Amino acid sequence: MRETRLEKGLVVQKQIVGEGAVDAMYANATTDEKHIQRYLSANCFGDYLTRGGIDLKTRELLTFSMLVALGGCDAQVKGHVVANLNVGNDRGLLLAVLTRLLPFIGYPRTLNGLRVLNDAAPAAS
């Protein structure tokens, strides 16, 4: 697995994040930063998101929840809102998760998560 983790990770990363977005991250990384993109693809996606046990939709929902709970991760939360939509979770489910997190993470982090959700996936009027 170690020798194929980058390739397998890229497949999953493109499925979750979107092929164009991943290609843009690689294209926009400066030469001295490209290794970070490879680490992300190989480690985060190749080593962890290719494992069995939890389906992709649930993994993305958990990732969204944890990033909102951590706070200070707005750019990553936005990416995982989009990723959740890409794997079939909808805005309503993400809003339900934020609602359930409220008593555990407090209003500031919940409201920050809601702001990011609204920016990335605005409610239909």
Contacts of 80 (CB under 8 A, 6+ apart): 60, 63, 64, 67
Tokens of 22: 């991943």
Percent of residues, the chain, with pLDDT higher than 70: 99
Output Rg (C-alpha) for the chain, integer angstroms.
15
Enter the DSSP assignment of 54.
Answer: S
For the cut 70, the answer to whether the pLDDT of residue 1 exceeds it is no
Give residue-wise pLDDT tens across range 19-77: 999 999 999 999 999 999 999 999 999 998 888 899 999 999 999 999 999 999 999 99
Give residue-wise pLDDT tens across range 78-105: 999 999 999 999 999 999 999 999 999 9
Confidence of residue 5 (pLDDT cuts 50, 70, 90): very high
- Kindly report, as residue ranges, where domains of CATH 1.20.1290.10 are found in the chain: 54-125
Confidence of residue 117 (pLDDT cuts 50, 70, 90): very high
For the cut 90, the answer to whether the pLDDT of residue 112 exceeds it is yes
pLDDT at 52: 87
For the cut 70, the answer to whether the pLDDT of residue 111 exceeds it is yes
User: Which of the listed CATH numbers 1.20.1290.10, 3.30.950.10, 3.40.50.720, 1.10.287.1060 matches domain 54-125?
Assistant: 1.20.1290.10
Phi first, then psi, for residue 52 (nearest 5°) are -85, -175
72, 83, 69: which is closest to 17 by C-alpha? 83
